[in-house]
Amino acid sequence: MSIPVLIIILIVTIAGVSFLGGCNRKQTVYTPAPVEQEKEDAAASLAAADKIAGYAHPEALISVYELNEIIFDPSTLTFDTRGRTNNIYQKSYPIGHIPGAIPILYSHYYHPVYIGRIASPLQLQNVLGKSGVSNNTNIVLYGNDGLQARLYWALKMYGYDSVKILDGGLDKWKESGYDISTVKSKRSTSTFEFDLTKSTAESMLATLDEVEASIGSGSCVIVDARSKEEYIKEHIPGSVNVAWSLLFNKDMTFKTAPDLKQLFEDKIITKDKKVIVYANDGILSSLVWFALSELLGYPSAKNYDGSFNEWLQYQRQVEKG
């Protein structure tokens, strides 16, 4: 083979390699350099902190970034509340949870006689103590179906204030790049006791009789936290529908205070009125109560614990449409 031919072959080969290399570069997924990633994380953390600072009670909520800083602090205990049933628990917690988080099943803290109602202070404090909670523990709750807010509501109602909800829950934790665990966490049993002199049940818990007496009152708004479809089917007369799902952004973090304020005021649900929230069983209503009471600072917001299931059980009047 002549030298000119060899040169031509060499040029073509080099050109082909260069072309393929160019194609490979175009398909490469950009990964931020460590320094750039740190800047993005810091910006996200600051944005989350700024949003939480805008709520009436910022101490009620914690971001995934803040939790990551204290995740292994022995004074902090994180509860995974996704155990509405044992079946749901088996399909959630063992598959992946926040490191160090302890599972708590709903059956452990609902009333043994009035199924679906919240447990008594004695029952709940025993469950917490067995889980490792002491009276100096900072409790963080996360979930995906409202039980995080229900447990928060119960703890606050029985006088325990060192409790927060994780904004965005496990999904936001994973989205932020933090590790998850499949190892079941456990703490040594501790002693925990509610100080019932601090109980605020009267101002946080609505009863069947109170709800019935509030129908048609100009000073009280009854809020249905269920879906629009459920509300249209039947609801407590005069109640206003604010579906619980409207409280959240796409990543399941709570909307900002101004957005939540607009959501409720558009329905004429204002701070000067008493507000009673219900759902089917008092769980999803706890989320709306949390937004009203803790995030917006409504002074007279109550959760109807018995909710629509109790309303129907006692054959109270319903409205359709």
Q: Which helix (H) or strand (E) holds 241?
A: strand 240-241
Query: Residue 31: which residues within 8 A CB-CB, separation 6 or more?
Result: none
pTM for this entry: 0.88
Cβ atoms of 62 and 167 within 8 Å: the answer is: yes
Domains of the chain and CATH, by start? 56-199 (3.40.250.10), 202-313 (3.40.250.10)
* Residue 104 confidence (pLDDT) above 70: yes
Asked if the model's pLDDT at residue 93 lies above 90, the reply is yes
Position 10 scores a pLDDT of 45
User: What is the predicted pLDDT for the residue at 272?
Assistant: 97
pLDDT given at position 52: 98
What is the mean predicted confidence (pLDDT) over 93-98?
97
pLDDT at 231: 98
State the pLDDT at residue 13: 47
* pLDDT for residue 16: 46
Neighbouring residues of 279: CB distance < 8 A, sequence distance ≥ 6: 146, 224, 225, 226, 244, 285, 288, 307, 308
Residue 39 pLDDT: 81
- Inform me whether the pLDDT recorded for 27 exceeds 90: no
Q: How sure is the predictor about 7, in pLDDT bands with cuts at 50, 70 and 90?
A: very low
Question: Residue 17: pLDDT above 90?
Answer: no
Nearest Cα to 89, choosing from 155, 164, 160, 143?
143
Quick: pLDDT tens for 135-148.
999 999 999 999 99
Across all residues in the chain, what is the average pLDDT? 91
pLDDT computed for residue 31 by the predictor: 57
Chain centroid, CA 227 distance in Å: 17
Q: Which long-range contacts (CB under 8 A, 24 or more apart) does 259-267 make?
A: 260/291, 260/295, 260/296, 261/296, 264/292, 264/296, 267/221, 267/223, 267/240, 267/242
DSSP output for 70-91: HTT-TTEEEEEEEESSHHHHHT
Q: What percent of the chain has pLDDT over 90?
A: 85
Q: SS3 for 300?
A: coil
The predicted structure's pLDDT at residue 234: 98
pLDDT top residue among 293 and 2: 293
Give pLDDT tens digits for 117-128.
Answer: 999 999 999 999
Over the stretch 182-226, which tens digit does the pLDDT of each residue have? 999 999 999 999 999 999 999 999 999 999 999 999 999 999 999
Residues 50-83: pLDDT tens digits?
999 999 999 999 999 999 999 999 999 999 999 9
pLDDT tens for residues 287-304? 999 999 999 999 999 999
Q: What tokens were used for 295?
A: 């995030």
* Contacts of residue 103, Cβ cutoff 8 Å, sequence gap at least 6: 79, 80, 82, 83, 89, 93, 97, 184
pLDDT at 30: 55
Give the per-residue pLDDT at 15. 46
The Cα 253–Cα 25 span in angstroms is 36
Q: What percent of the chain has pLDDT over 70?
A: 89
Average pLDDT (41-54) is: 95
Angle at 298 (CA atoms; ends 295, 299), nearest 5 degrees: 130
Contact 60/138 with Cβ under 8 angstroms? no
Tokens 């009673």: give the residue: 276
The model's confidence at residue 46, banded by pLDDT at 50, 70 and 90, is: very high
Q: How far is CA 184 from the centre of its chain?
A: 21
